[in-house]
Amino acid sequence: MQTHDTLKPAEVALLYQSHHAWLRGWLCSRVGCREHAADLAQDTFVRLLRARQIAPLREPRAYLSSIARGLMIDQFRRRALERAYQESLALLPENEAPSEEHRLLILDTLERLDRALSQLKARARQAFLLAQLDGLSISQIALRLKVSRATVERDLAKAVGVCYRLRYAQG
Q: What percent of the chain has pLDDT over 70?
A: 92
Phi/psi of residue 35, each to 5°?
-65, -45
**Taking 60 as the threshold, does the pLDDT of residue 115 lie above it?**
yes
Q: What is the pLDDT of residues 92-114, one digit of tens each?
A: 888 888 888 888 888 888 888 88
- Gap between the Cα atoms of 129 and 135, Å rounded: 9
Mean pLDDT, rounded, of the chain? 85
User: Shortest CA distance to 81 belongs to which of 51, 123, 111?
Assistant: 111
Q: What percent of the chain has pLDDT over 90?
A: 35
- Angle in degrees, 0-180, between the axes of helices 122-132 and 149-169, rounded to the nearest 10: 80
122-137 average pLDDT score: 90
For the question of whether the overall pTM of this predicted structure is more than 0.95, the answer is no
pLDDT at position 1, please?
43
Residues 107-110: contacts with CB within 8 Å, 24+ apart?
107/81, 107/82, 110/81, 110/85
pLDDT at position 52, please?
63
**Taking 70 as the threshold, does the pLDDT of residue 137 lie above it?**
yes
Contact 6, 54 (CB under 8 A): yes
pLDDT at position 55, please?
58
47-65 average pLDDT score: 78
- Gap between the Cα atoms of 121 and 107, Å rounded: 23
User: Shortest CA distance to 118 belongs to which of 86, 159, 170?
Assistant: 159
157-170 average pLDDT score: 82
Question: Which residue segments constitute the domains of the chain, with CATH numbers given?
Answer: 1-97 (no CATH), 99-171 (1.10.10.10)
**Identity (one letter) of the amino acid at 74?**
D
pLDDT at position 169, please?
67
**Taking 70 as the threshold, does the pLDDT of residue 131 lie above it?**
yes
